[in-house]
Chains A and B, each alone.
Chain A
């Protein structure tokens, strides 16, 4: 058992270690944000400079010279479109799995196993298929093809849907069935029950799933890197455009990275309570 006198020292040691761990975790992000406010002459210097007059010139460079907001706009459009499709089709399916147990668990696991696919195995055929579809009239009409937003919307929908279904199933299972039963007994048709009784109760879970899907799409790199060149590129690829012949412009990179990371940091902090649950496909309810 703990000795009283040693417990203070023990607590001090514990918090010392925690501060050390947190320092290691937070530091790279903090240094990125700090660098984004550094004047050019304080960035490529050795030893690294800690004191400087903050400036917005990196943001100006990223936004005006490199047109970084263009990538933000692309990313926003692609992630939101894909999130809407995922949330709508995912909720319908998840409700069915949670309440009617379609496929007796096998189908649900099959869906998850598609999430475990190595993405590259899907990207190679996507590249070939989108290359051909992009040349056709339908492709250009729907915006599907290489370097078109449709290609990424499809990719992100496919890769987030399994995750979303699993998380949503766990949320639907938490909703008591009595209300649905009584609504059914009152003679309400099933679709009405789903829309008027279940959906309002499931709204928080659906919102959480949507935010997760949005974060994953926003941060995705591999599909974006391979399936787009410029016109439909997202932020993760856009940051790479700061590689120049003179080397990497670290100030503007830091500014662009900060712009693209900040909204996600805010989302994640808002979703804290659901983080563990989301990251384990709903298995650990945290």
Chain B
């Protein structure tokens, strides 16, 4: 909105030209503090982790040890527990994100069509987003409790089986997923709703005049126009889910056995419970690499699209 109103180029140059160099320096000076923070406190630690990944570092036997080349990398690639945590993470991400997207979009349509009370509906929807997964997740343990939990109480009332939500090998991961769906479906719904409400009216009025079926309007108009927003939500949710830790830590601690042990949790356990920093750092490097590739190829094109649209609009 602002850019299109900006001062004509000639006038702008008139203001800037006597101090053209200074403009550049001024802009660089402004970013120096933030860049320093990021370089010193984000990149240096990563460089340190990279260094540790090439060394022997069993903290139970003292300090960071000798250079061992690629030994840790070989060990990680042959580690069953690592691959199993990758599997758990993928299973969690795929299921949770799919459920959140489908339910979230459905809820957005539901609310979009509502005639009254949208304000209060939205207020209630955002509540889970305000809470910390570590705090509400802990309380969900009480809801899941086999003896005193409310969920099993209700299931019992309608005569359904009362599972051991967090203790059963086949169910525990689903219980973590259910909690995540509770917390993050509103996020998807809110953003999809914002996307729906920002759609232009004209094409839909035209489609209605043409007598197009609801399904056809959805397929040819609504979804194509919503696609960028939905993709952005999908990517943000996926990146977040892959790093899941809080819910697992408070609900199941990776158990029973290791059926809910996500990558972050396994890394935490190897590095800070077993104190194999070398090994944990190596996995962290793999993890980091995967996330960087993902954000470069999935997130960047999307955000570029949004920022160019914002500056045109």
Contact = CB atoms under 8 A, between A and B. Distances in A.
Given A190-B22, A235-B135, A239-B138, 16 more contacts: A14-B110, A21-B107, A100-B24, A105-B304, A122-B45, A122-B49, A161-B38, A222-B246, A222-B264, A239-B134, A260-B135, A265-B127, A268-B129, A272-B126, A279-B190, A285-B310
A18 interface: yes
Contact of A174 (B2, B6, B267, B300): B2
The A interface is mostly helix, strand or loop, or mixed, namely helix
Contacts of B206: none
A124 B72 CA distance: 16
B280 A43 contact: no
Interface of B: 1-3, 5-7, 11-12, 15-16, 22-24, 26-28, 30-31, 33-35, 37-38, 41-43, 45-46, 48-49, 52, 64, 107, 110-111, 113-115, 121-136, 138-143, 147-150, 153, 182, 185-187, 190-191, 194-195, 198, 208, 229, 232-233, 236, 239, 242-243, 245-246, 249-250, 263-264, 267-268, 271-272, 277, 280-281, 284-285, 287-288, 291-292, 294-296, 299-300, 302-304, 306-307, 310-311
A213 B159 CA distance: 46
Interface residues of A, number: 109
A235 B134 CA distance: 10
A22 B114 CA distance: 14
B42 A114 contact: yes
A188 B246 CA distance: 50
Interface of A: 1, 11, 14-15, 17-18, 21-22, 24-26, 28-29, 31-32, 35, 43-48, 85, 88-90, 92-93, 95-97, 99-100, 102-103, 105, 107, 109, 111-114, 116-129, 154, 157-158, 161-162, 165, 170, 173-178, 181, 184-185, 190-191, 215, 218-222, 225-226, 235-237, 239-240, 248, 250, 253-254, 257, 260-261, 264-265, 267-269, 272, 275-276, 279-281, 283-286
